[in-house]
Amino acid sequence: MLVTSDSEIKVLLGKLPKAELHLHLEGTLLPHRILSLAQKYSVPVDWNEVHSRYNTRNFTQFLELYKWATSFLREAEDYALLAEDAAAAFHEQGIVYAEITLSAGVMLLRKQNVTANFIALRDVFHRRAQSGTGPQTQFIFDAVRQFGSAPAMEVARMAADLRNEGVVAFGLGGDELSVPLSEFHSAYSYAAEHGLHLLAHAGETGGPEQIKDAIDILHAERIGHGIAALRSTALMNTLAERKIPLEICPSSNLRTNALNIQLNSATSDLSQHPLPKFFRHGIPVTLSTDDPAMFHTTLLDEYSAALQMGLSLDDLLVINRTAFEQSFLSDPARQSFLVQLTPVSPES
């Protein structure tokens, strides 16, 4: 494709109808919303605290931030407000389809009404999509790994109960160094038997064996992050041959220190990110933000980061197409998005 300048590329990427497959709704909670929710619940919080908590440098600090930020989401209307903010932001960036992950495991731990939270936020997204001011959406219920297998089974049950309401997949997030993946086998089997797709965060801060277990033991269809695959050519070959996608979130990998961990280095930068290597190896890769407010990013920023890593505009168009292809859309819906993808030009 003939495009001359960086700014032209950015305009084109902004206009490109994009899919976002790895995004935690709770991770879109912006600092100013934390302050308004803190006021609502009479919790003393000031800007300094918010700023210092939103400046994570490793995975432990990130988990602390996630726990703290989600403590301000207490009832359905809070989730609805979050959905309004997120839908508007996605629309502005040209995201036309999103598979949105919800930390149902956290809601259950806090004894919240998961169904009420879910219906409230889903209705916001549906209304926005209908009025052309937000993306089409489907939802993923995530369990939290360090909470263990019994709470994960509860999440799988909730996801199955809400399958006809827009929940399409069951996933597992949290600390992959806490509980072995094998302990989640029954929750994943239950989810699969009830028609849900299967996802797992693996190979983010853990090693390549986590990815292998996610595929072999849990039958995960897509892997969240998976950057540990850079440490195993055999695993990279398997991912390429079996066409198992990695949902790559570059800014997240910097902010959680995951890239340093995988490179076994005290410092690293985007030029060392394995995304280009995976792409050229034939592994299906998609680009995502993970927790955009917490990692100070947008999907457009992630596409710009991929350009800095040496990928071309044409490569990025392939990556965006891959996201639609690997989504959990029905075939007709997928086709209707895919036909919108070409041609694109800066003038259009």
Residues involved in catalysis: 204
What distances in angstroms separate CA 92 from CA 158, 248, 288, 317, one per listed residue?
Answer: 32, 22, 16, 19
For ligand ADE, the closer of residues 78 and 290 by Cβ is: 290
What is the Cα–Cα distance from 285 to 315, expressed in whole angstroms?
Answer: 11
Q: Which of 99, 213, 290, 315 binds Zn ion (CB under 5 A)?
A: 290
For ligand ADE, the closer of residues 70 and 304 by Cβ is: 70
What is the Cα–Cα distance from 176 to 180, expressed in whole angstroms?
Answer: 8
* Partner whose binding site includes residue 208, from ligand ADE, Zn ion, none (CB under 5 to 8 Å by kind): none
Which residue is associated with the tokens 């590329």?
Answer: 9
Half-sphere exposure of 118 (CA within 13 A, CB side): 29
In angstroms, give the least distance from the CB of 173 to Zn ion: 5
* Partner whose binding site includes residue 27, from ligand ADE, Zn ion, none (CB under 5 to 8 Å by kind): ligand ADE
In angstroms, give the least distance from the CB of 249 to ligand ADE: 7
In angstroms, give the least distance from the CB of 81 to ligand ADE: 19
Strands of the 222-225 sheet, one edge to the other: 18-24, 95-102, 136-144, 167-173, 197-202, 222-225, 246-248, 285-287
In angstroms, give the least distance from the CB of 189 to Zn ion: 23
Site string for Zn ion, 190-229 (x = CB under 5 A): ----------------------------------x-----
For Zn ion, the closer of residues 100 and 344 by Cβ is: 100
Q: Write down the H helix ranges in 110-201.
A: 114-130, 149-161, 185-193
For Zn ion, the closer of residues 214 and 344 by Cβ is: 214
Q: Residue numbers of the site for ligand ADE (CB under 6 A)?
A: 24, 27, 66, 173-174, 201, 204, 252, 256, 290-291
For ligand ADE, the closer of residues 177 and 263 by Cβ is: 177
- Report the C-alpha dihedral over residues 146, 302, 233, 173, rounded to 10 degrees: 10
DSSP code at position 5: -
- Read off the tokens for 161: 């109960």
Angle at alpha carbon of residue 288, lines to 101 and 20, rounded to 5°: 60
In angstroms, give the least distance from the CB of 10 to ligand ADE: 26
Check binding of 176 to Zn ion (CB under 5 A). no
* Partner whose binding site includes residue 135, from ligand ADE, Zn ion, none (CB under 5 to 8 Å by kind): none
* Partner whose binding site includes residue 212, from Zn ion, ligand ADE, none (CB under 5 to 8 Å by kind): none
- Read off the tokens for 3: 């495009």
What is the contact surface with Zn ion in residues (CB under 5 A)?
224, 290
